[in-house]
Amino acid sequence: MIYQRSSQLFAEAEKVIPGGVNSPVRAFKGVGGTPLFAKSAKGAYLYDEDDNRLIDYINSWGPMILGHAYQPVVDAVIEKAKKGTSFGMPTELETKIAEMAIAMVPNIDKIRFVNSGTEACMSAIRLARGFTNKDKIIKFSGCYHGHSDSFLIAAGSGLSTFGVPNSPGVTQGTAKDTLLAQYNDIDNVKALFEANPNEIAAVIIEPVAGNMGCVPPKEGFLQALREVCSNHNALLIFDEVMTGFRLAKGGAQELYNINADIVCFGKVIGGGLPVGAFAAREEIMNFLAPLGPVYQAGTLSGNPLAMVAGYAMLQALNADLEIYDRLEAKTAYLHKGIDEVLKANDIVFTINRVGSMISVHFDAVPVVDFQTAKNGDNETFKKFFHGLLQEGVYIAPSAYETWFITDALTYEDLDFTIKAVDKVAKSL
């Protein structure tokens, strides 16, 4: 495969955009080499600027659950654009998409739309603090909730229960209010509650982690977390930016039959346009301005293009009674196929999967948290990534990302992918 034009475009981009990209993981730092530049995409395929065709397992990091350039979304956006792209006034469409989301997701009465998953999580935390009148939050190592200050925190050393900033620009003052716990370790969470009595406003979690590869919650872990939060009058926040409308119509809340207090959305809910949202029961949502004291706003929030794209996407998912079974079946097929060929080639690996989220880790030990995710052999992952790319299969350029399966993938595409994995495995 030739990447000549992509390489040129990257060199030009680097002069005017830091690192040549507007979001760091796109830069291929985790795998080496220079990123491909996208030219267009349709269905399961991505076409780069050198006209290479790639089977896409990133799908814009999740939103394209029905494939790229999904016709009902594209048509809706084109029609809407002709009528004006933003008004700074409420529109009927915002109520319609809100009603639809509330009908699909369990346990929410009201929802507010924002422009990204980052904004959704940032606002959810503010709301939880305002509602509980407490300052501290617990997050889990390896979970990603966007790039707002409260979440860019690493575990403190030794006996300290405080987090420390893991990016310059995040203040110690902010870091001291974020406590870090290990994913799947309920005793760790309980210990943090005991060490910080009456100070913890909320626990935020990816109910299925997708930002350290795919890491499923252990049996009973989310239930236990629900109980601990209720016992301590802390809110449980499910960050369903990745899992929402992907694992089930009602996301992880439905899949695991657990009610969170606040739920955050992004990715699929925008159908590929910049949308995030957060939702909760009425009592909590009424704490937001203009009804309540917690401030939150947005000039372009709920703009008609984003809303019509999201609405078309949710309508399609809501109307298709078999969509989640199909996604599950396709991903299970891929899982089995990759498992077989990696075994046949004596590769040391672990595959994690929940529904249409799947990740391959080059380590024999089960991956259950950030620590075990970090054990994976990154050199093998790099070769795996570049090998698959040569074969025309595009997975995320980082060992810490899940693959996103789309319904546009055919079984021929999956067979092609499994063959490519077999070929690459022979060279690992």
Exactly one of 144, 265, 324, 403 binds ligand PLP (CB under 6 A); which one?
A: 144
Among 63, 67, 163, 266, interactor with ligand PLP by CB under 6 A: 266
Selected range binding ligand PLP among 83-91, 99-107, 116-124, 373-381, rule: CB under 6 A: 116-124
Q: Is 268 helix (H, G, I), strand (E, B) or coil?
A: helix
Select the residue whose beta carbon is closest to ligand PLP and give its number: 117
Please report the DSSP string for 93-104 in residue order: HHHHHHHHHHHH
**How big is the site for ligand PLP, counted in residues (CB under 6 A)?**
15
Q: Which listed range, 234-242, 284-292, 297-305, 321-329, lies at the site for ligand PLP (CB under 6 A)?
A: 234-242
**CB of 247: closest distance to ligand PLP in angstroms?**
12
CB 352 within 8 A of CB 216: yes
Q: Is 114 in the site for ligand PLP (CB under 6 A)?
A: no
Tell me if 369 contacts ligand PLP by CB under 6 A. no
Distance of closest approach, residue 396 Cβ to ligand PLP, in angstroms: 12
Residue in 80, 249, 267, 382 annotated catalytic: 267
| Residue 117 within binding range of ligand PLP, rule CB under 6 A | yes
Q: Does 217 bind ligand PLP (CB under 6 A)?
A: no
Residue 121, interface with ligand PLP (CB under 6 A)?
yes
**Which position among 43, 63, 130, 146 is part of the footprint of ligand PLP (CB under 6 A)?**
146
| Tokens read off for 414 | 């999956």
CA distance 85 to 235: 36
3-state helix, strand, coil in the chain (%, to 5): 40, 20, 40
185: Cβ contacts below 8 Å, ≥ 6 apart: 369
Q: Looking at 6, 52, 59, 116, which residue binds ligand PLP (CB under 6 A)? A: 116
Q: Which of residues 13-52 bind ligand PLP (CB under 6 A)?
A: none
Which residues, listed in sequence order, are joined to residue 45 by a DSSP beta bridge?
Answer: 42, 55
Q: Which amino acid is at 351?
A: I
Between 132 and 402, CB nearer to ligand PLP: 402
Catalytic option among 239, 363, 369, 407:
239
| Residue 139: active-site member | no
- Give the residue, chosen from 211, 301, 372, 380, that forms a contact with ligand PLP under the rule CB under 6 A: 211
E strands, 319-356, in order: 350-354
Q: How many CA atoms lie within 13 A of 132 on its CB side?
A: 25
Type of residue numbered 17: I
Q: Which stretch binds ligand PLP (CB under 6 A): 72-80, 91-99, 110-118, 194-202?
A: 110-118
β partners of residue 43: 68
- Determine, following the binding rule CB under 6 A, whether residue 118 of this chain makes contact with ligand PLP: yes
Residue placing its CB nearer to ligand PLP in the complex, 145 or 232: 145
Of the pair 270, 387, the CB lying nearest ligand PLP is at 270
Which residue's entry shows tokens 């680097």? 14
Q: Which is nearer to ligand PLP, 242 or 373 (CB)?
A: 242
Q: Determine, following the binding rule CB under 6 A, whether residue 124 of this chain makes contact with ligand PLP.
A: no
The reply to whether 206 sits near ligand PLP by the rule CB under 6 A is: yes
> Which of 206, 369 has the CB closer to ligand PLP?
206
Amino acid found at 95: T
Using CB under 6 A, pick the residue from 210, 271, 304, 355 that binds ligand PLP. Answer: 210
- Cis geometry, peptide bond prior to residue 216 (ω within 30 degrees of 0): no
Spatial CB neighbours of 117, under 8 Å, sequence gap ≥ 6: 145, 146, 239, 241, 264, 265, 266, 267, 276
Which residues, including other chains, have CB under 8 Å from residue 58's CB and lie 6 or more apart?
394, 395, 396, 401, 403, 404
Q: Is 239 a catalytic site residue?
A: yes
CA distances from 415 to 35, 134, 351, 420 (A): 26, 52, 18, 9
Q: Which one of residues 9, 175, 241, 424 is an interface residue with ligand PLP (CB under 6 A)? A: 241
Rounded to whole angstroms, the Cα distance separating 5 from 7 reads: 5
Separation of alpha carbons 28 and 389, rounded Å: 12
Give residues in contact with ligand PLP (CB under 6 A).
116-118, 121, 144-146, 206, 210-211, 239, 241-242, 266, 276
Q: Please identify every residue annotated as catalytic.
A: 144, 239, 267
